[in-house]
Amino acid sequence: MNWIVEKPKQRIVVMTGAGISAESGIQTFRGANGLWENHRIEEVASPAAFSRDPVLVWNFYLQRRRQALSCRPNAGHLAVAELEKWIVSAGGDFLLVTQNVDGLHSRAGSGNVIEMHGSLMTSRCTACGQIFPDKRTDLELPPRHNCPEKGLLRPHIVWFGESLFPGDMERIECAIEKCDMFIVIGTSGIVYPAAGLVNFANSLEKRTVCVNKEAPANVELFDTFIRGEAGKELPQRLFPRKNREGDG
Ligand code: BV8
């Protein structure tokens, strides 16, 4: 059986989506056919929705924060974290880019992570812009910040129609420019700019691998497609775990 990553002294970029958290019990976006309490995700996860009904949107994220905190990383998250350690200890480079906001990769031990769509465990003041860790699960209403403007707090999440956080796209593209391989796991390849990163990797003739439960929308853009669940495929196929000490 050949491994996705054969040798550790390489430069690897991994991007994940909701599929890698599915086996932790967190519903995917397509799995929920894009609905939450009969609201389309795109309608709730947007600045317009927040200004129209901040209580509804705040509670959407509060419920997802509670759920994420009650779930545990699965074997797929752990395999990605172990791959990073294997590569970095051999002098290679590793970057994990996740579209997920559930925080499970960091809890699994991943170190070099860009949460390109933000985090359920972070809030931002809509007035002064301050960003801070926030794991409170008891606030039914969007609280106000203690700044002079008493700004309304919002989730520090990239909503539909919002740009990524400053500098993130540049960091991601710079890592892909330098990488040997771009591995995409558990995403439907529908939402941009994340879904366009494989095109960018292809334009630089990087090796591209996709691991997904079913063929994603952009499957034809990958050199290799491995059909399967992350929690099963990654521990078996991501890298040679048993003799990792022996590799140079
Ligand atoms: C931007 C945080 C522009 C929120 C997310 C109209 C108006 C405005 C913008 C647009 C528009 N039309 C299109 C756009 C662009 C839009 C977009 O792409 N829309 C889509 C719907 C077409 N993008 C944006 O708005 C982005 N910003 O364009 O800014 C701009 C430019 C300049 C100036 C100003 C503005 C921002 C997009 C970010 C949105 N935020 N997340 C939250 O979480 O609440 S997106 C969210 O959905 C996820 O983060 C992810 O990115 C995306 C898709 O989800 P996936 O992760 O792929 O999950 P999904 O369920 O879809 O698929 C799961 C996959 O896993 C499946 O394939 C399944 O088979 C597989 N799977 C399941 N189980 C397993 C598995 N695989 C392995 N193992 C398993 N066990």
CATH value at residue 38: 3.30.1600.10
Residue 4 lies in a domain: no
Domain that holds residue 99: 11-26+73-116+164-237
* Cβ atoms 19, 191 nearer than 8 A: no
Which residue puts its alpha carbon closest to atom 6 of ligand 1? 161
CB neighbours of residue 122 within 10 Å? 18
224 shares a domain with 136: no
CB neighbours of residue 77 within 10 Å? 29
Which residue puts its alpha carbon closest to atom 78 of ligand 1? 229
179 shares a domain with 94: yes
**What is the CA(32)–ligand 1 centre distance, in A?**
13
Q: How confident is the model at residue 130 (pLDDT cuts 50, 70, 90)?
A: very high
The alpha carbon torsion through 192, 197, 198, 200 (nearest 10 deg) reads 120
Position in ligand 1 atom list of the atom nearest CA 31: 60
- Listed in sequence order, the residues at least 6 apart from 76 whose beta carbon sits closer than 8 Å to its beta carbon are 20, 23, 185, 186, 229, 230, 231, 233, 234, 235
Q: Residue 222's domain is classified under what CATH number? A: 3.40.50.1220
Residue 225 pLDDT greater than 50, yes or no: yes
155 burial class (0-12, 13-18, 19+ CB within 10 angstroms)? buried
pLDDT tens by residue, 173-219: 999 999 999 999 999 999 999 999 999 999 999 999 999 999 998 99
111 shares a domain with 38: no
Pairwise CA distance, residues 209 & 228, whole Å: 13
For the chain, the domain total comes to: 2
**What is the CA(18)–ligand 1 centre distance, in A?**
9
In angstroms, the first-to-last Cα distance of the chain is 19
Computed over every residue of the chain, the mean pLDDT equals: 93
Residue 245 lies in a domain: no
Res 241: pLDDT: 79
CA distances from 25 to 137, 144, 193 (A): 19, 31, 26
Pairwise CA distance, residues 76 & 92, whole Å: 21
Res 68: pLDDT: 96
User: Which residues have any ligand 1 atom within 6 Å of their CB?
Assistant: 17-19, 22-23, 28-31, 42, 45, 99, 101, 117, 157-163, 186-188, 190-192, 194, 212-214, 216, 229-231
Residue 89 lies in a domain: yes
Pairwise CA distance, residues 181 & 207, whole Å: 5
Cα-to-chain-centroid distance, residue 199 = 18
Claim: this prediction has a pTM higher than 0.85: yes
DSSP 102: S
DSSP 239: S
Which residue puts its alpha carbon closest to atom 22 of ligand 1? 191
174 shares a domain with 63: no
Residue 32 lies in a domain: yes
Position in ligand 1 atom list of the atom nearest CA 101: 43
Q: Which two tokens stand for residue 58?
A: 């705040």
140 shares a domain with 96: no
134 shares a domain with 198: no
Residue 79 lies in a domain: yes
207 shares a domain with 147: no
195 shares a domain with 226: yes
Select from 191, 211, 222 the residue to mutate for testing ligand 1; criterion: most ligand atoms less than 8 Å from CB.
Answer: 191
101 shares a domain with 150: no
172 shares a domain with 58: no
Which residue puts its alpha carbon closest to atom 17 of ligand 1? 191
219 shares a domain with 201: yes
Residues designated catalytic:
117
57 shares a domain with 177: no
**What is the CA(195)–ligand 1 centre distance, in A?**
8
Instruction: Tell me what the mean pLDDT of segment 86-99 comes to.
Output: 98
Which residue puts its alpha carbon closest to atom 75 of ligand 1? 19
Q: Tell me: cis bond preceding 143? Omega within 30 of 0 counts.
A: no
Q: Which of 14, 25, 28 is nearest to 191 (CA)?
A: 28
Which of 106, 135, 157 is the endpoint of a domain?
A: 157
Res 45: pLDDT: 93
Residue 171 lies in a domain: yes
Residue 81 lies in a domain: yes
DSSP, collapsed to helix, strand or coil, labels residue 146 as: coil
Residue 246 pLDDT greater than 50, yes or no: no
Identity at 116, one-letter amino acid code: M
Residue 170 lies in a domain: yes
